[in-house]
Amino acid sequence: MTPWSSPIDLLAALFLLVAFAMLSQRRLANLITLYAWQGTILTFSIAIVAYATDSAHLYASALLTGLLKILLVPALLRRLARRLDVQWDRESLVQIPTVMLIGLGLVIFAFNAALPIAAAGHIANHAIVGIALASVLLSLLMMILRATALSQVIGFLALENSLIFVATSVTYGMPMVIEFGIALDVIVGIFILGVFFFHIREQFDSLDINHIERRED
Amino acid sequence: MYVPIGVSWGLILSALILWSLLAFASLFIPKVPRIAPLIFPLGALGALGVAVAGLLALHGPPVATVSPLGLPGLPFHGRLDALSGLFLVLFGLTTVAISLDLTGYRAREHYPVAARIGVQYHILLVSLTLVFVAADAYSFLIAWEAMALSSYLLVVTDHRTSAARRAGFLYILIEHIGALAIVAAFAILIAQTPVGTPLSYTFTALQARHPDPTIAGLVFLLAFFGFGAKAGLVPLHVWLPQAHPVAPSPISALLSSVLLKAGIYGLLRVAFIVLPTPAPWWGLTVLTVGLLTALLGALSSAVQSDMKRLLAYSSVENIGLITAAIGLALLFSAYGLKALAALALIAALYHCLNHAFFKGLLFLGTGSVLHATGERNLGRLGGLIHRMPKTALLMLIGTLAIAGVPPLNGFVSEWLTLQSFLKATALPRPYLAMGIPLGAALIALVAGLAGYVMVKFYGIVFLGRPREAGLAHAVESGPFERAGLGLLALLCLALGLWPAGVIALIRPAARLLTGADAPITVGYAGARVGVAHAGYAPVVLWVAFGVIACTAILMLRARSGRAARRATVWNCGHPLVGARMQDTAEGFGQPIRNIFTAFLAVRRRLPAPDDLTPRYGSVVEDRFWENLYRPAARGFETIFIWTAALRPRRIAISLMFVLATLIVLLALAP
């Protein structure tokens, strides 16, 4: 494992960087590209772990992740954004520096919280757990701060990516059955949400969450 | 790899495959109506196969099998032992009759309804078979849930009426609460696996767990609650009188005859086989609940005026009797009296078979009456013996059997139950030894009430004069329906006249559960059954009855000396006696309603003295609705209102709660 820990460290750092980039990205089209990059990093890290542990099912997992998260899901999201005509809308965010500072706080917290988990696991590098945990928290933060439904969904997908990253880097992957299950869930989820978006827009003339919340009162 | 699976597994597997294919084929009934007449007779064929497989399993050694289906690393385990075999026989024979009846039912229904019933019914049959042969907690629960869902869909066949939807919801709700308790019971038992050994879900592995008495007691209570919800024990019986009236009659028959028994099967499997030697309080709990259920069921059925509700409460009563006998068996085995435990279990299992057959018969017959008249209300029926003589004869056998009249089957099991109650004097605790035989008095009361109920049921539906003009157009049931009824009536007669043979069939199951043989002797060429100082020989009894009846007739003839003469009917001084003046179901139940007010909630509607168009009415309800279910529903409602008040209006704030929770939990983690 030792010779392969440095590339994984590098990928983990990139993963965190992408998470921050997603947090501050205002355009939906760019957000989808970032999501695809995140998927690429994830695929590579699973492939490296697969090579290092020489396990066939992780190779299959990497292949599945690659197909799903680099090609299929971003393509579906792009099509959805194009048909909803929201690709280049500029989202109103809370001030980006403030968001970045909150994100930094979360990362520091995550590293502290990860220490006992990493000690319990069989992993050489404690930082990876911290990074993965931080990405989970950052994705949640992104979901909180976004105002449109589609970018909230991307936040949710990023959350799922981070969880898979934790799973592969800490325990060398989940059982194949569960991974298949999650993959299926993601695809079905995207399709259902896609249908929902059209309905939401028809009903409220907007994908902005604020409109929906106001109607509900 | 070729693995010989034996005749019984072969039969079961082919029935499962056949039923799955039939369920699939039923989807195409509306498109290809030609296949419709074949579906249900083929289903009956599969059921016959299952019954034969059960019969083979009763006497052969247990056969286990591992199916390639299931999740990787978690295959389905199956096992055919005497207990499974007995319930498969019960299930198979009843299902043959029900499938025959459905053949007739299908012919007069619209295609979409027939198709829906065809799909769900065969799925239900598959899952019921799997429940009876499953040998690990995991596949058992999957089959259990499949059974619950498919039976729910059958209950709401008539989903356009709100009564059906409400009844279906109540059924699925109680079913789910019960299933949760069963899952919890198995989960606690599995959690007892010592650290380091691989988790195994098979019943044999769970049997080897030997949990300590507290854990075993907890598991037992949860299992009793869960299986009791399915079987319809007080206070979870409320779904029965709601669901039976709205379901199609053949489905009511299946629910009452087989699905309730699935609860009994689960209870027996867990309490006697999976768990270690029971503690005395288990038996006492089961016994008390059983007796209470029997009494309440009998009382409630006496005051009903809807045919199917009456039969549903009668099912509650019978399940109560079965459960009481099981409780007695648990008590006996807690004190090491294995042979007596086997006796009580034989009584319980015998009654399971009996109830399946006569209640199936009564529900199917009710279906025929319902089809002929369109009426379920006893107050609008009457005199059907003239219109439907064959159905009436078969129903008479069913009502006599359920009333416990010798020489029919109901008597045998009630007699055995009473015998085992009287044997409780052998218990080493004086209080129990003196107190439990008193339960026999309660059983006798319940049996008497059951007789009363059946006189009311049969008398009002078939005897007297038609209460409505429309009844003159009632027609006899079709040949398929009569075949189903006839099969069940024959079984009732056979089980009554040949108790020794039936006991020989049940004996292996009781031996499997208790490890001992019941002290029952069999004599007079297999037609006499004896327990210690008491014996019962139906054939001798019948011959004696016949001799006495013939002598009485001959003596009366000899004394009167004249031929019968015809005269006008004396009309009791009433110049005009109409059909509506006959005794009604409400009138018949009135004494019970007044004597047992403590057990029933009666709401009477009395008109004011100056009302010009007075209308009288009374509604009888379970006391559990006002004392348990409505307060519980109100409590849940309050909790939901509080929770709804906590819910933030903005999605971002909800998400913030999630993040905050995560951060707090991570910070608190050691």
SS3 of B581-626 = HCCCHHHHHHHHHHHCCCCEEEEEECCCCCCCCCCCEEEEEEHHHH
Q: How many CB atoms lie within 10 A of CB B537?
A: 18
Chain B environment of A134 (Cβ under 8 Å): none
B17–chain A nearest CA distance, Å: 26
B669 touches A at CB < 8 Å = yes
B658–chain A nearest CA distance, Å: 8
Chain A environment of B655 (Cβ under 8 Å): 140, 143-144
A108–chain B nearest CA distance, Å: 12
A174 touches B at CB < 8 Å = no
Amino acid at A62: A
Band (pLDDT 50/70/90 cuts) for residue A191 is confident
Nearest Cα to B83, choosing from B323, B275, B266, B334? B266
Percentage above 90 pLDDT, chain B: 46
Higher pLDDT, A116 or A23: A23
Mean pLDDT value across chain B: 87
Chain B environment of A152 (Cβ under 8 Å): 651
CB B287 within 8 A of CB B327: yes
What does the pLDDT average to over B449-474?
A: 88
Q: What is the pLDDT of residues B3-32, one digit of tens each?
A: 456 888 889 999 999 999 999 999 888 888
What does the pLDDT average to over B352-379?
A: 91
Q: What is the pLDDT of residues B543-586, one digit of tens each?
A: 888 999 999 999 888 887 677 777 777 766 666 667 777 778 88
Higher pLDDT, A54 or B629: B629
Chain A environment of B650 (Cβ under 8 Å): 209, 213
Nearest Cα to B490, choosing from B404, B394, B400? B394
pLDDT of residue A128: 78
Q: Per residue in A93-130, is it b (16+ CB within 10 Å) or e — as a string?
A: beeeeebeebbeebbebbbebbeebbeeeebebebbbb
Q: Is A209 close to B655, i.e. CB distance below 8 A?
A: no
Q: Enter the tokens of residue B457.
A: 């049921």
The DSSP-derived string for A1-56 is -HHHHHHHHHHHHHHHHHHHHHHH--BHHHHHHHHHHHHHHHHHHHHHHHHHHT-H
Which residue in this structure is represented by tokens 């509506």?
Answer: B580
A217 touches B at CB < 8 Å = yes
Q: Enter the tokens of residue A183.
A: 């993959």
Half-sphere CA count of A7, side-chain side, radius 13 A: 13
The two counts, helices (H) then strands (E), for chain B are 25, 7
Distance in angstroms (rounded) separating the CA atoms of residues B664 and A203: 37
Check whether B1 has a pLDDT greater than 50.
Answer: no
Tell which phi-psi region holds residue A112, choosing left (phi > 0), alpha (psi between -120 and 50) or beta: alpha
Check whether B535 has a pLDDT greater than 80.
Answer: no
Helix (H) or strand (E) holding B205: helix B203-207
Check whether B202 has a pLDDT greater than 80.
Answer: yes
Q: If you measure CA to CA, which chain B residue comes closest to A112? A: B667
Long-range contacts of A183-187 (CB under 8 A, 24+ apart): A183/A64, A183/A65, A183/A68, A186/A68, A186/A73, A186/A157, A186/A160, A187/A68, A187/A72, A187/A73
3-state DSSP call for residue B8? helix
Helix (H) or strand (E) holding B148: helix B137-155
* Phi, psi values for residue B69, rounded to 5°: -75, 170
pLDDT of residue A93: 65
Q: If you measure CA to CA, which chain B residue comes closest to A140? A: B659
Q: CA angle, B307 as apex, B302 and B310 as ends, to 5°?
A: 35
Band (pLDDT 50/70/90 cuts) for residue B308 is very high
Q: Are strands B534-536 and B600-605 parallel, antiparallel or unpaired?
A: unpaired
Choice among A192-206, B388-402, B562-576 with the minimum mean pLDDT? B562-576
Q: If you measure CA to CA, which chain B residue comes closest to A105? A: B663
Band (pLDDT 50/70/90 cuts) for residue B289 is very high
B645–chain A nearest CA distance, Å: 13
Q: What is the pLDDT of residues B290-302, one digit of tens each?
A: 999 999 999 999 8
CB A45 within 8 A of CB A8: yes
B71, B659, B666 ranked by CB distance to A144: nearest: B659
Chain B environment of A23 (Cβ under 8 Å): none
Helix (H) or strand (E) holding B651: helix B651-668
CB B369 within 8 A of CB B461: yes
B573 touches A at CB < 8 Å = no
Higher pLDDT, B395 or B539: B395
List of E strands, chain A: none
Choice among A48-62, A142-156, A160-174, B478-492 with the minimum mean pLDDT? A160-174
pLDDT of residue B573: 60
Distance in angstroms (rounded) separating the CA atoms of residues B34 and B22: 14
pLDDT of residue B391: 92
Q: Is A217 close to B658, i.e. CB distance below 8 A?
A: no
Nearest Cα to A41, choosing from A169, A133, A182? A169
pLDDT of residue A9: 82
Chain B environment of A141 (Cβ under 8 Å): 659
A109, A116, A143 ranked by CB distance to B670: nearest: A116
What length does chain A have?
Answer: 217
Tell me which of A135, A144, A196, A214 to substitute to probe the interface with B (most B C-beta atoms closer than 10 Å).
A144
Chain A environment of B663 (Cβ under 8 Å): 109, 137
Which residue in this structure is represented by tokens 């007995």?
Answer: B86
Would you give the DSSP letter of residue B424? Answer: G
What does the pLDDT average to over B525-531?
A: 58
B670 touches A at CB < 8 Å = yes
Distance in angstroms (rounded) separating the CA atoms of residues B10 and B6: 6
Q: What is the pLDDT of residues B619-653, one digit of tens each?
A: 888 888 888 889 999 999 999 999 888 777 777 78
Band (pLDDT 50/70/90 cuts) for residue A214 is low
Would you give the DSSP letter of residue B279? Answer: P
Distance in angstroms (rounded) separating the CA atoms of residues B113 and B105: 11
Band (pLDDT 50/70/90 cuts) for residue B309 is very high
Q: If you measure CA to CA, which chain B residue comes closest to A119? A: B670
Q: Per residue in B509-519, is it b (16+ CB within 10 Å) or e — as a string?
A: bbbbbbebebe
pTM: 0.80
Distance in angstroms (rounded) separating the CA atoms of residues A133 and A170: 11
3-state DSSP call for residue B194? coil
Distance in angstroms (rounded) separating the CA atoms of residues B83 and B425: 28
Which residue in this structure is represented by tokens 């990876």?
Answer: A128
Distance in angstroms (rounded) separating the CA atoms of residues B336 and B257: 32
Highest mean pLDDT among A25-34, A41-50, B15-24: B15-24
Q: How many CB atoms lie within 10 A of CB B668?
A: 8
Q: How far is CA B214 from the centre of its chain?
A: 31
A56–chain B nearest CA distance, Å: 16
Q: Are strands B534-536 and B520-523 parallel, antiparallel or unpaired?
A: unpaired
Choice among A194-198, B525-529, B657-661 with the minimum mean pLDDT? B525-529
B436–chain A nearest CA distance, Å: 54
Q: How far is CA A55 from the centre of its chain?
A: 24
Higher pLDDT, A183 or B628: B628
CB B308 within 8 A of CB B326: no
Check whether B159 has a pLDDT greater than 80.
Answer: yes
Mean pLDDT value across chain A: 80
Would you give the DSSP letter of residue B79? Answer: E
Choice among A19-23, A182-186, B351-355 with the minimum mean pLDDT? A182-186
B72, B658, B670 ranked by CB distance to A140: nearest: B658
Band (pLDDT 50/70/90 cuts) for residue B491 is very high
Show which of residues 119-158 on chain A sit within 8 Å of chain B, judged by CB atoms.
Answer: 133, 136-137, 140-141, 143-145, 152
Domain that holds residue A175: 2-216
Q: Enter the tokens of residue B116.
A: 């829906």
Check whether B154 has a pLDDT greater than 60.
Answer: yes
B651, B659, B669 ranked by CB distance to A137: nearest: B659
Q: Is B651 close to A110, i.e. CB distance below 8 A?
A: no
B649, B651, B656 ranked by CB distance to A217: nearest: B649
pLDDT of residue B399: 94
Chain A environment of B666 (Cβ under 8 Å): 109-110, 113, 133
Higher pLDDT, B492 or A83: B492
Distance in angstroms (rounded) separating the CA atoms of residues B403 and B457: 11
Q: How far is CA B352 from the centre of its chain?
A: 8
Q: Enter the tokens of residue B664.
A: 């707090």
B651 touches A at CB < 8 Å = yes
pLDDT of residue B2: 45
A208–chain B nearest CA distance, Å: 11
For residues B549, B554, B556, B562, the Cα torsion angle rounded to the nearest 10 degrees is 140
- Establish whether the linkage from the previous residue to B538 is cis, with ω within 30° of 0: no
Q: Enter the tokens of residue B588.
A: 């018949």
Chain B environment of A109 (Cβ under 8 Å): 663, 666-667
B646–chain A nearest CA distance, Å: 14
CB B223 within 8 A of CB B161: no
Chain B environment of A137 (Cβ under 8 Å): 659, 662-663
Q: If you measure CA to CA, which chain A residue comes closest to B668? A: A113
3-state DSSP call for residue B407? coil
B655 touches A at CB < 8 Å = yes
A111 touches B at CB < 8 Å = no
Q: Is A133 close to B670, i.e. CB distance below 8 A?
A: no
Q: What is the pLDDT of residues A90-120, one digit of tens each?
A: 776 667 888 888 899 998 888 888 777 666 6
pLDDT of residue A217: 46
Q: If you measure CA to CA, which chain B residue comes closest to A146? A: B652
B652, B663, B669 ranked by CB distance to A109: nearest: B663
pLDDT of residue B618: 78
Tell me which of A111, A129, A143 to substitute to probe the interface with B (most B C-beta atoms closer than 10 Å).
A143
A110, A144, A216 ranked by CB distance to B652: nearest: A144
Name B587's Cβ contacts closer than 8 Å, sequence gap at least 6.
Answer: none
Q: Per residue in B362-380, is it b (16+ CB within 10 Å) or e — as a string?
A: bbbbbbbbbbbbebbebbb
pLDDT of residue A192: 77
Distance in angstroms (rounded) separating the CA atoms of residues B37 and B535: 48
What does the pLDDT average to over B38-59?
A: 91
Tell me which of B656, B657, B659 to substitute to probe the interface with A (most A C-beta atoms closer than 10 Å).
B659
Q: Is B666 close to A110, i.e. CB distance below 8 A?
A: yes
Band (pLDDT 50/70/90 cuts) for residue B670 is low
Percentage above 70 pLDDT, chain B: 95
For residues B166, B170, B175, B180, the Cα torsion angle rounded to the nearest 10 degrees is 120
Q: What is the pLDDT of residues B245-280, one digit of tens each?
A: 999 999 999 999 999 999 999 999 999 988 888 889
Name B203's Cβ contacts closer than 8 Å, sequence gap at least 6.
Answer: B77, B79, B135, B136, B137, B269, B273, B274
B603–chain A nearest CA distance, Å: 42
Highest mean pLDDT among A141-145, B3-7, B183-187: B183-187
Q: Is B667 close to A109, i.e. CB distance below 8 A?
A: yes
A186–chain B nearest CA distance, Å: 20
Check whether A1 has a pLDDT greater than 50.
Answer: no
Domain count, chain A: 1
pLDDT of residue A95: 78
Helix (H) or strand (E) holding B528: strand B528-531
B112–chain A nearest CA distance, Å: 29
